Chains A and B, each alone.
Chain A
Amino acid sequence: MANKADQHQTSLGRTVAKLGLAAAGMFAFGFLLVPLYDVFCEITGLNGKTGGRYEYTESDVIVDESRQVIVQFTASNNAGMSWEFRPMQSQITVHPGELVEVKYYARNPTGERMIAQAIPSVVPFKSADYLHKTECFCFTQQVLEAGEEVEMPLLFFVDRDLPKDVSKMTLSYTLFDVTQNFAGKGNTLSAN
């Protein structure tokens, strides 16, 4: 009898341990969803997320003269961001594979040194994966002294595999004030 009760206790203990582990595992899984989601976004272009700096090879930039795509640029400020921020050209027409440079303008009208981060987003979503940025002001934070202005370059090309039904894409940047996030360590940043 006692033996049976012991057996019972061990099997109960095992059940509880397994379930406890499962719960802990699901807690970890909740956090795992974050990188999983990023991978998912990169693959599907969800939310128009674009990849980081694109390392291109010669074969990437063979120009497809037979096709033209309009790339439209917009700029928005998040609430509380006082910079003047706008694209210096509203749109351009490019051939897929053609490496082009455009510029955004920013000015800090306040009396304080400020740090900003630009966040890109592309529509249509299915085209986000085909817009390759080789150089972008959004790769780093922007630091502007009081009253300072800057022209910020963006180098990109459109992939030749861009789906055929896409004739116009919009690249949008939203500017966020991140000065407070970098309070005290702003010196390590460089403006470009």
Chain B
Amino acid sequence: MLPTIKKTVNKLWSRAALAVLATMLPVLGLAAGMNMPEGVTEISRATHQLHMTIVWICVAIGVVVYGVLIFSLIKYRKSKGAVPATFHHSTKAEIIWTAIPFLILIGMAIPATKVLTQVYDASESELDILITGYQWRWQYRYLTEEGEEVAFFSNLSTPDEQIYNQVEKGENYLLEVDEPLVIPTNTKVRFLLTSADVIHSWWIPEFALKKDAIPGFINESWVKVEQPGVYRGQCTELCGQLHGFMPVVVNAVEPAEFEAWFAEKQAAAAAIAEMANQDWTLEQLVAEGQTVYTTFCVACHQANGQGLPPAFPALTGSPITTGPIEEHINIVLNGRPGTAMAAYGGLLNPVQLAAVITFERNALGNSVGDMVTPVEILQIQQAAE
């Protein structure tokens, strides 16, 4: 009695398992369109097609191999009285199943080579953009004949409250930035990639473009986007603590709209100089500094200023943020060699620098009461001469 029950249970188990598997695979495949996107460039479509071709070739091979396997498992069971054959060798069969895969591979290699050659041709570009990876943000610099007039950082803009599950997550959770890269459509845009610290990798699935950003070296790639739209991706090379929090967002717009945007950015760069010359109060600077701090400093020094010792020291009550302001300014502008503290003098504008320094001295539990104005920062930056 007991053995029969066990047998039945066993049979049920195997059948249940097979049923689960059999239904799971195709359901998963079809679900939610979870496949490589066709994308919006010639390259991305070619890549998608290559991908689908190989998938179907693999499915076809799978049907044959698994077919023979399942057939054997059903037909040649000892319980069905199967008697083993004695053959164990067949030169003919072995030659066939060495040769056929080889031919299939050649069939795959030809289109793959074509696409790859196309990907590698970044010549004759109409716009060049230098992308620099930082821990943990991207910097975009537009290279024109006149020089780099437009340059900015692109930071994750998802608020901490969403990440720590205090409020509902937005539609583009973790795939949104404060300032996306803007490029014109139907224009060959060439990207130069490098990094200021560790290796990062810049990826937009819809462009089929993934390239490593390596410190000290530049890589190039290119894109020609056909449809306007916002395209989202992420850093794909482990780059430290906030690797999962440095999205790539590209806004592709019509060329005319791009021209207008670019002119506006150029004007904005000029306006910064004027802003620096305004009169700033301590309150204004602290308010402005909050934004800068949240964007550039919280990753290490934390929102409450407590840092993550020993790697990232606390700012609350620190001898730097509560001591002489000259030393504080010096560290923010010039960084601290041998540590993760970068030199922000060249990365932020005078308004941002003055604001964040003033903020750090008068918030985060500190209340020194002094401040530094953008004009003073400008003077310090120039006085060194």
Contacts and interface: CB of A to CB of B under 8 A. Distances in A.
Contacts of B121: 165
B334 A82 contact: yes
Contact of A90 (B135, B148, B336, B383): B148
Contact of A123 (B148, B218, B334, B339): B218
Nearest to A170: B192
Given A90-B147, A121-B218, A168-B123, A80 B343 contact: yes
Given A77-B346, A79-B135, A82-B343, A170 B220 contact: yes
A179 interface: yes
Nearest to B382: A109
Majority SS of interface residues in chain B? Answer: loop
B197 interface: yes
B196 A77 contact: yes
Pick the most buried of B125, B148, B217, B219: most chain A CB atoms within 10 A of its CB. B217
Interface in B215-264: 215-220
Interface in A37-74: 47-49, 72, 74
Nearest to A112: B334
Interface stretch (B44-52, B99-107, B138-146): B138-146
Interface residues of B, number: 45
Given A77-B196, A109-B345, A82 B218 contact: no
Contacts of B192: 74, 123, 170, 172
Interface in B161-215: 192, 194, 196-197, 214-215
Contacts of B132: 76
A124 B123 contact: yes
A180 B338 contact: yes
B384 interface: yes
A121 B384 contact: no
B354 interface: no
6 contacts: A107-B385, A108-B384, A110-B334, A119-B217, A170-B128, A174-B215
Interface of B: 121-125, 128, 130, 132, 134-135, 141, 143-148, 192, 194, 196-197, 214-220, 330, 333-339, 341-343, 345-346, 381, 383-385
The 6 closest A-B pairs by CB, nearest first: A82-B343, A147-B384, A82-B334, A123-B220, A79-B197, A79-B196
